[in-house]
Amino acid sequence: MSWFLAFKPSYMVDFVKLSKDMQRRVSQAQEALENAPISPQGNTIKPLKGYTNLWRYRIDDFRIIYSASPEAQVVQLLAIGPRRDIYKRFHHEDDTSIVTEERYFGPDLASQLLPQQIEEPEWVRHPEWFSKRQTDSKRLPERLTPSLLRQWVISAEYWEVLGACETEDSLYRADIPNEVLEKVLDGLWPPTVEQLATKPDYVLFNPADLEEYAAGTLRSFLLKLDNYQRPLVDWALNGPTLIKGGPGSGKSTVALYRIHSLISQSLHANRALPEILFTTYTNALTTFSESLLEQLLSGVLPSEFRGLPSNVRVSTVDKMCRWIVKESGLK
């Protein structure tokens, strides 16, 4: 049985930093992990010492670190890079180090990031912090040049504002979307294993998709559903359904997966594909959603389909209103 591949956002940043040849070899390794991620293979695949559910895949002096869940048949790709840098993130010395205690990679690991409770907040003991404006913000470890931002697949519209950032404070104050800031932070300060445990997962439908992302031909990836979202995907597919949630709760992600379920249901029953309309508010989100849908449906639709079938329409609300008026024949 083929394993399901998911990856952390910072894994994308690690991947795009690699040479083209190494990216190709990593894609081949990811394909191998779909079939046998927890079967030791000489010096290539081994458990990572110090952890009960982490493994490492060796490619010359580079290491892929991943988590494997046999119960769910899921592989989480966590980090890829030179051995010394990767092991430092996971508090691991080398492949021959002696480990006395093993930890489990998961949400509980993130609890080590929580600050220890103290009798009084630290700022109470430092009144001088408020006596004058602080001007000693740390400088960024490297300049955010266009070439570096291009390598990290940051849109050119943010190069100017990011290029003007020289300190941590100026970076956090920059007028950029949160997802862009997160990508820059992961590039400047790759997350430790504890920080990785708090990050969401993305779906890797095709092991070679990360190469397309690095080349700029693939815009983004679909978030992996969590335990609260998953039951909503197949619920009440035969009638009207209302799903409510706050900003960032994943409503659009659930809607995309429901399109997948509706089409899969029709194909399984040998029925004609349903007419599906997915609406959003901006042209940018339309393009983004189309890209995600193409990835999601690639393993379901027959091979003769290129892109989305005509039955599936992705459009802004404004364009749909204009289309309805035009089709009515009225001015």
> Tens digits of per-residue pLDDT, 26-40?
999 999 999 999 988
Looking at 19-23, 126-130, 139-143, 199-203, which range is the least confident one? 126-130
pLDDT of residue 147: 93
Question: CB-based burial of residue 88 (10 Å sphere; 0-12 exposed, 13-18 middle, 19+ buried)?
Answer: middle
Closest listed residue to residue 280, CA positions, set 264, 256, 297: 256
Q: Which residue has the higher pLDDT, 136 or 322?
A: 322
Per-residue pLDDT band at 220 (split at 50, 70, 90): confident
The chain-wide mean pLDDT, for the chain, equals 86
Residue 271 pLDDT exceeds 60: yes
Q: Do strands 74-82 and 62-69 pair parallel, antiparallel, or not at all (unpaired)?
A: antiparallel
Query: What's the confidence (pLDDT) of residue 77?
Result: 96
Q: In this structure, is the dihedral angle defined by the CA atoms of residues 47, 48, 51 and 54, taken in order, positive or negative?
A: negative
Q: Determine the average pLDDT of the residues in 204-220.
A: 87
Residue pair 235/257 in contact by the 8 Å Cβ criterion: no
Q: Which fold has domain 4-112+192-215?
A: YaeB-like fold (3.30.2310)
Q: What pLDDT score was predicted for residue 238?
A: 84
The b/e string for 109-120 (b: 16+ C-beta within 10 A; e otherwise) is beeeeeeeeeee
Q: What is the pLDDT of residue 31?
A: 94
DSSP of 65-99, one letter per residue? EEEEETTTTEEEEEEEEEHHHHHHHTT---TT---
Distance, CA of 212 to CA of 295 (rounded, Å): 12
Copy the structure tokens of residue 274: 């349903």
The confidence score (pLDDT) of residue 119 equals 54
Average pLDDT over residues 46-53: 90
Q: Give the sign of the dihedral formed by CA 78, CA 80, CA 81, CA 83.
A: positive
Flag whether pLDDT at 325 surpasses 70.
yes
| pLDDT value at residue 331 | 78
On the question of pLDDT at 246 being above 80, the answer is yes
Among the listed residues 145, 288, 203, the one whose alpha carbon sits nearest the alpha carbon of residue 12: 203
Query: Cβ contacts of residue 191 below 8 Å, gap of 6+?
Result: 8, 10, 89, 199
Per CATH, is 230-328 categorized as 3.30.365.10? no
Which letter does DSSP use for residue 3 in this model? P
What percent of the chain shows pLDDT beyond 70?
89
Token pair belonging to 121: 């907040």
Helix axes 251-268, 283-297, angle to 10 degrees: 40
Report how far residue 224's alpha carbon sits from residue 209's, in angstroms, rounded to the nearest whole number.
16
The count of other CB atoms within 10 Å of the CB of residue 125 is 10
Of 52-66, 118-132, 213-227, 276-290, where does the model show the most confidence?
52-66
pLDDT one-digit tens code per residue, 181-192: 989 999 999 998
Residue 203 DSSP symbol: E
In eight-state DSSP terms, residue 319 is H
Which pLDDT tens digit goes with each residue over 116-138? 444 566 666 666 666 655 556 78
Q: How many CB atoms lie within 10 A of CB 166?
A: 13
Q: What's the one-letter identity of residue 316?
A: T
Decide if pLDDT at 249 tops 70: yes
Torsion angle defined by CA atoms of residues 31, 223, 10 and 249, in that order, rounded to the nearest 10 degrees: -160
Nearest to 103 by CA among 111, 231, 95, 275: 111
Q: What share of the chain is helix, strand, coil (3-state, %, to 5)?
A: 40, 15, 45
Average pLDDT over residues 135-157: 88
Residue boundaries of the structural domains of the chain: 4-112+192-215, 142-188, 230-328
- Which pLDDT band, with edges at 50, 70 and 90, does 9 fall under? very high
Residue 132 or 164, more confident: 164
What backbone phi and psi angles, to 5 degrees, belong to 47? -65, 145
